[in-house]
Structure 1
């Protein structure tokens, strides 16, 4: 593959574009999720002008050979056509595509599947494209895949616009109303445009689970239902992150809860059902009322337990313990397996941070950050300890108000 040298005339502006994308900490996770969800081996955020195609961020699992800053001849790419039309281009299988089967792009780069969605800033400026390619066919024309790309492209565009404002005088003039509007738009995109089709996917999965005429359908339904559940949790995490960062923290409604045990047990049972091969021990000793937001504590336990199941050793149990001591609710989740490195313990609650050993497709890295925000909103503290002998324990200390 031949790359073009960066033009001297545009070196400064292109470097600025690469830096702007690099400062969006969610981009690596977005590209990783795109590859995981589509099965495609290469994903990128590209700066596309009327004369230049340049990679700003790259996820390359197939050795395509393009790095951030690398350029391709613009007219050899389909992003050139996507930019002209300001519309996505989606191809499952070039060889069988009625429009693009004879196109020069797949012949040049050896491609069979392709998707490219415009990244347009809120002010209408065309920045580039969020794209993915692979030498194998892939079902990228599915509505959920296209919508995922569109949402991520919108979020990147919003972040790039915010980055531009940060380094301009507009950042000093942004008022509280503009920030509130941005928050509402961000949450509306996720809450409406993703939740409605996701609900349809979940309902379809439920129907498939009940079909007994074909022995393969219940298995497919369970797999689809699990995927919809994981996507719903990702949406919840991103929405809470948006509220926390753009607002005044995660909102809680603290009220006396006479018996918290059934609500916490329901969370444990739900994750047991979703992970039947894992052993989850549960000891709940909460004899009296607790002042808390029960829904948020369910979310806290769900995130902690889901994290333990994902990262803990599969052949060792996960222990959930909740009790009240001296007016404090103590909620802990412990798993065996790899120890968290000492230098990583201070980073586990950072947004978008995931250890280098994390399995692919494990989410955006917001779960533990949101756990800490929930505990903080209750006036408590969230701690983590990890050792080879005792395993890894996350312990929440929350005033019980009793």
Structure 2
């Protein structure tokens, strides 16, 4: 059925626009597509390269395989050939394309032959097409070659045609995303003639090829595949062109395809079949795995196979989803209805009949419940069937753990039997059946379905053998007991299935709850983490507890990736750092279990936010054979996303703090300049005036000679202002030393009365108009302190009291010992301090805004605070109820002071 409309799909249009924007930043890939070796792909690529070179394009050869063909070798000459990468592999020196050399040379166009080639182990990527993708991301155009049998989605069809399993494949998306595809076609008869003439392989190889792969029927079928693939490409381009330009036409109704996969070996075949059907129908397609409670104990090999299947599906362009449910069939149908699936592809393993009788057929259930949805069944081939049947049970004996479960269920039945002997005189045989049902339930709860089914069967046999006449035989006199046996077996099987399912559901729910709780705990702790170090340590601790893996976090520092946090004892080598650096620069996973440098010991995940890649998280399993399951990968993805956002937030917070600090510094510098310029102006003007007066007097000796009293007053004024300048400079120097932590206390026994007396002499002029009253015990002991610094504190505080008090108002200095402290308090009767400024007056350059201007730099109280705190004390200010203010500071006494 078709449907006509002229308006393009806006979602697809937006997606295409975004793809075109991304493509502008990437290089362009041109693929020379053939149907078999010898059709002339490499030759055509070299001819095209020479033509581009004549056009002025910078062309180099990254890798070319000439196969000793003279005409091909002739075309190589005249083009720059980059040196190959040499590797020692098992005692042999092998060569391959040097990816780093290509990126360093950075030509406009590079030739890379044999796109499906498998790289030598030890290179960055396992496959050459992955090298090509990295070259394209660097903005370099690529010419490459590939045969149609190497397309991943056609692998099964090629096997059916030729009987040969193609090992080297390329994801179809590489072909789909290519900028241009050029079909290199050659009639089969001409190709066979070239093969006979030795132009494809040497004679011995040619003879073997003619007998096997290069049979005419095979070549004809492969040629048809290549022509069809090229036609599909042209058709897809035409459809895109018409849709984006609103050209009316009959558009195909959108199909949606769902491929159901499990851990079964035929999963790859199903995925490739889904890709082919999606190509034919131009349909969106999904690959879905239904995780039921029974899948939670999958062995590591099956989990690894599932991961490989998901990787294959993603490479072929599918949307991969993991669905949780109790029933596979119900979950598949529910997903299909929810996503408007029109076709379902499922596999039917060739299992023994007894297996389907016991476990049921999921395929039959899907077909019955599918309704209007088409269901395609793909059967497995003989080789896969044998592998799957043998794979149902482990090779050799049953695992020790599983053996223990079954043995436990038998022992439990024997225990019930022993318990039944003394009870048989009190209970009817039919009542003893209830005890055996207890054994079945306990087996299901603790050991699962298999042991509980065994317990059901053994219970029926034990009940018949030991408790039904004639005893110690399986003969039954009363045929009514046969119904009891059947009922016991049926009820036991039902209970075992139900209890086992409930047990598995509880385990799954517990696991999901633990994962959710773990993420919640991590989120809560990260929310409270204020610094980057706190964030990193929190992530390391939680990720280790979740996955029991060694963890490392690397962040960029001056453009270089460095280790910022890790679990104890984690060591990362230079080679591993190179793997992490690649993941950081490309924003893609690398290392263990990935397609980039898989030989690495650590799995590296980029920490990506909406803005950029902020770092790398690496995880290393304690067991080298252990890989993350898909469930764990989803959890890890959630952890990584949360960590990336929090790390970025912490980095922004640090930058904001630095910016605020810089802003505050600039404000302090401005305040300093304003304060200093204001404070310096008066004394400098006074001193300049005095010096000018003396200069005028000296120049005019004969007239207006200055009298001695005036002369003395001027000198005293200049001296006072010079002292004021000196005080300002000393304050600045003291603050600088405090900021740098360069003040070292010189504690010595100090007489407090002498200390106060010396300070009074320094402030003799200021205290002339402010009587100082000192209140302290006469027998005050010597106190250990830095007398010079504490004298400076007292000087600044008393000077402040004089400045902000009316003339002739007294100032009181109280000194006393309170427990383990000496307490100094300066009381004045001045104008006091606004209540909102009581704490801020101790900040650098802060001055209370008043109508009248009072000289000062705003450093005095800040210096006092620094000196007091250097002694381990504290200082504060309060307003007096009767007016004025009191500034108090306390210093801790040393043990010698308390003696």
Q: TM-score, normalised by structure 2?
A: 0.23
Higher RCO, 1 vs 2 (CA within 8 Å, ≥6 residues apart): 1
